[in-house]
Structure 1
Amino acid sequence: MKRLIMKSLVVLVLIAGIGNYLVYLNTGQMPLLAMRDQLAGKSLGDFLPSVSADKLATEARSAAGKVVDQFSTAEPSTEVKVYKWTDGEGRVHFSDKPLVQEAQQIAVDTRNAISAPETASQSTPKAAAGAPSAAEPSPLEKARAAAEAMNNRTVQQEQDY
């Protein structure tokens, strides 16, 4: 019985803490601190008439609705233009510029893309902030490196199983 009571208290404290944090994220105010300030020097009997179940329910629905609206908005699409063509030997090529007449433009959605692992040349700071470095890989080279890393991961996973 004691364990059930302790578990219930822990759950209530977690709910109050998480709820307080969600309201803080939404409004920038800490409701538990505001409640503590309101209760300073008052007894519980003085506080109860100002609280009604309807008011609490309305405020909770409003706060929950704002949080849901904030986090349910779709992530903006970031599309990259890529051109695809097949050469005379049947190999498929991709480029950020149409290098042949029959290249087809395709749109690549990068929202859930896997990034290439960061190399030593990418992690070094640039000589001038904002000035592109000659050693910095192009977006196409980054995409090729990411594809190669993904293929290597797939091969490694297949070997593991």
Structure 2
Amino acid sequence: MADETVSLREAKPTDAAALLALLTQLQTETNAIVYSNLANMTVEREAQNLAQIARSNTGIILVATYQGKLIGLATVMRIEGDANAGELGLAVLKDYWHNGIGSLLLDEALYWFVNFAQLDHLVLDVYKSNNRARRLYQHYGFVEVAECTIKDSDGHDQPAVSMEYQGIEEL
């Protein structure tokens, strides 16, 4: 992968089938990915969702591609019931872990949040045991604000940490 380029871009309606395939594969690689209605989602409905999100300034889906294949994504979606807060999601296929792709996606999602989003707060929940992800989020300006539990893909409660983006001070 050293000689190849990973590209980042906003997801388009034409990505619907590939995005659904990516989400399906991600669910098999980790119990941290939970998309409750994925089994019932059609390509047509996903394309409509992507078009609607693209018109929004309260949500974005970014995808990472490698050799024409979707290999990761970052999402910021407005939290239902809170017009001022968005939730960050980040996932990369296991074969591409530890190559900086998560950092690239996170950096781009934060750039969008700071410069374009009509949201005041950006939050996420991460498993307490996922120290690597927690350090990544802290490096990019997230602070731990509370302990919580989140359900994994098997429906079991897992200890987690809620984090909120506080920004990175300029040097």
- TM-score when normalising by structure 2: 0.18
Question: Looking at CA atoms only, which structure, 1 or 2, has the larger radius of gyration?
Answer: 1
Higher strand share: 2
TM-score by length of 1: 0.19
